[in-house]
A and B are shown apart, each in its own frame.
Chain A
Amino acid sequence: MLITRSVHITKGKIVCDDKTVFEALEPLPFTEFIKSAFKSLDTAYPKFYKMDKLSKLAFVASEILLKDKEIPQKYKPETIGLIFQNANSTIETDIEHQLTIADRKNYFPGPAIFVYTLPNIMLGEICIRNKFQGENALFIFDKFKPEQLFAHVSLLFQKNKIDVCIAGWADIVGENYESFMMLIEPESMLANSKDFTTFDPSNINILFSKK
Chain B
Amino acid sequence: MNEVFVSGENAITSLGFTVSDHLDKIKNNITGVKLYNDGLLFPEPFYASLVDSKLLNQHFSRIGDPGKYTRFEQLMILSAHSALSGSDIDATSPTTVFIISSTKGNVDLLENAKQNQFDADRVHLWKAAAEIAGFFGNKNTPLVISNACISGVLAINYGYDLLSSGACENAVVIGGDVASEFIVSGFQSFKSLSFGPCKPFDLNRDGLNLGEGAGTLVLTTNPGAVSSGKRIKVLGGAGSNDANHISGPSRTGDGLCFAVNKAMKQAGVQPAQIDFISAHGTATSFNDEMESKAFSSAGLSDVPLNSLKGYFGHTMGGAGTIESVISIQGMKQSLLFNTLGFHEYGVPEKITIVDKLTRKEQKCILKTASGFGGCNAAVIFAT
* A interface residues (Cβ-Cβ under 8 A, vs B): 77-78, 82, 87-89, 91, 94-95, 97-98, 100-102, 104, 107, 109-111, 114-115, 117-121, 123-125, 127-128, 130-142, 145, 148, 151-152, 155-156, 158-159, 161
Contact = CB atoms under 8 A, between A and B. Distances in A.
A87 B141 CA distance: 13
B145 A91 contact: no
B277 to A, nearest CB: 20
B148 A118 contact: yes
B111 interface: yes
Given A88-B124, A141-B126, A117 B186 contact: yes
Contacts, number: 160
Contact of A101 (B154, B161, B185): B185
Q: Is the interface of B mostly helix, strand, loop or mixed?
A: mixed
Nearest to A84: B147
B189 A121 contact: no
Contact of B238 (A95, A107, A130, A161): A161
B124 A136 contact: no
Interface of B: 43, 103-104, 107, 110-112, 123-127, 129, 141, 143-148, 154, 158, 161-162, 165, 167, 181-182, 185-190, 236, 238-247, 254-255, 258, 262, 266, 371-375
Contact of B245 (A128, A134, A135): A128
Rank and list the top 9 A-B pairs by shortest CB-CB distance, nearest first.
Answer: A124-B373, A114-B186, A109-B185, A140-B144, A127-B241, A127-B243, A120-B147, A78-B258, A109-B189
Contact of B372 (A94, A118, A152): A118
A168 to B, nearest CB: 16
Given A98-B110, A141-B126, A159-B161, A114 B189 contact: yes
Given A104-B43, A138-B146, A139-B144, A123 B189 contact: no
B372 A121 contact: yes
Nearest to A154: B165
A89 B146 contact: yes
A24 to B, nearest CB: 28
Nearest to B181: A101
A109 B43 CA distance: 12
Contacts of A141: 126, 141, 144
B373 A120 contact: yes
- B141, B188, B240, B266: most-surrounded residue (chain A CB, <10 A): B240
Nearest to B104: A117
